[in-house]
Homo-oligomer: A and B are copies of this chain.
Amino acid sequence: MARIVQKYGGTSVADLAKIHNVAERIIRTYQAGNEVAVVLSAMAGETDRLIAMANAATADRPTPREYDVLISTGEQVTVSLMAMVLNSKGFPAKSALGSQVKIITDKNHMAARIRKIDADFIVRELEKHRIMVIAGFQGVDRKGNITTLGRGGSDTSAVAIAAAIRADYCETFTDVDGVYTTDPNVYEKARKLKKISYDEMLELAGAGAKVLHQRAVELAKLYNVPLYVRSSFNNDEGTLVTREDEEMEKEVVSGITYDRNQAKVSVIHVPDKPGIAARLFTPLAERDIIVDMIIQNASIEGYTDLTFTIPKKDIKEVEELLETVAKEVNAERFIIDPDISKVSMVGLGMRSHSGVATKMFDTLAKEGINIQMISTSEIKISCVIESKYTELAVRVLHDAFQLEMEG
């Protein structure tokens, strides 16, 4: 017998037939003698429908407080439907909203962070052999205002609940059946990983892999919650995201991922003086624009070039900002190139194995792929390349590092 948290994403509960399928899986887990707490997202498309409604209702941006009241109905619909389906199949189930489980968050509407969860409430129900069906993505602040955690927040809800009720593990069900060495849609030789460390998963998520929300992995690492990534459409074992062990260390590279949602910004011929970077990046930070890679060229005759990446969706805003800021810092001009892609390799083994970066650069060079930017961390190397080479780069790197074979 175990205490298990199962999280099902929007595609897994997209319609009534899928909700019935998920109900059957929940029942199997429950009937095996486990305590089951379920965390659900809104039906696929529902959140977008509600967001469109909010945007249509108001000329400017909808008030964040009211936006959260509106959007949180999405999960309220799925948890009540799931609980009534489980009830109608003869199983004791009860839905609970963020306000009822007391998922207390900060006041930061639309991107709130969980502060506290009333574990007793959930545990009490589980001990009465009830299946708890909990709305993901939502909480309440200390005054009882409804908050939401931002996109992908249901993963975070699930892990936070698993930590709070000391679950044995947390399973997140999505439309892919695990974490792969790379995107199987890009390369058919992609291999599903049995296990991956929290840190590798964090780097993969940060580098563009969409299987798990980064904050959920951070939380899982913090509270040491074993996290299974599985598909709700088959019974495959999935991938376990967990603490590092010796076996993992042997893998030089665990996964290759790519991110096409970045654009490259170059600010050309800037006087190389202290404070220039701050003056460039502060206005971006103030508008919550996330600058990822930053490179500053060596200074030549007191001038330098600054290159960085930004999310593609922010191009227009950055362009407007730089019209002013570039003049202020006496830059010659700036260029925004949306036609790029970031390819990243992640692996714990990079810590002890030298030569990984060189091999990556060589492999890309052999194919005539020019590297425009490079950034490295302890267990990750990322290269910015021209967008059209993305799939090619992923394939040749996958082959070069023999990822199709188990390490």
Contact = CB atoms under 8 A, between A and B. Distances in A.
Interface in A57-98: 57-60, 62-63, 65-67, 69-70, 72-73, 76-77, 79-81, 83-85, 87-88, 94-95, 97
A391 B203 CA distance: 75
User: In the complex this chain forms, how many copies of it are found?
Assistant: 2
A65 B57 CA distance: 31
Contacts of A62: 84, 87-88
A59 B88 CA distance: 7
Contacts of A16: 53, 56-57
A84 B80 CA distance: 26
Contacts of A97: 69
A53 B66 contact: no
A84 B99 contact: no
A100 B63 contact: no
Nearest to A133: B66
Contact of A69 (B59, B63, B80): B80
Say which size band chain A's interface belongs to: 35 or more
A54 interface: yes
Contact of A73 (B60, B77, B84, B99): B77
A53 B81 contact: yes
A144 interface: yes
A77 B77 CA distance: 12
B80 A66 contact: yes
A70 B81 contact: yes
Nearest to A74: B73
Nearest to A59: B88
A73 B81 CA distance: 12
A364 interface: no
Interface string A121-164: 00000000000000000000000100000000000000000000
A19 B85 contact: no
B70 A54 contact: no
A80 B99 CA distance: 16
Contacts of A56: 16
Specify which of A60, A69, A99 lies most central, judged by the most chain B CB atoms within 10 Å of its CB.
Answer: A69
A137 to B, nearest CB: 14
Given A66-B87, A76-B76, A19 B99 contact: no
Q: Sort A-B residue pairs by CB-CB distance and give the 6 closest, nearest first.
A: A69-B80, A58-B88, A70-B80, A73-B73, A66-B84, A63-B87
Given A19-B57, A69-B95, A100-B144, 16 more contacts: A16-B56, A53-B77, A57-B85, A58-B88, A59-B88, A60-B88, A62-B88, A63-B88, A65-B83, A65-B94, A65-B95, A69-B97, A70-B77, A70-B80, A70-B81, A70-B84
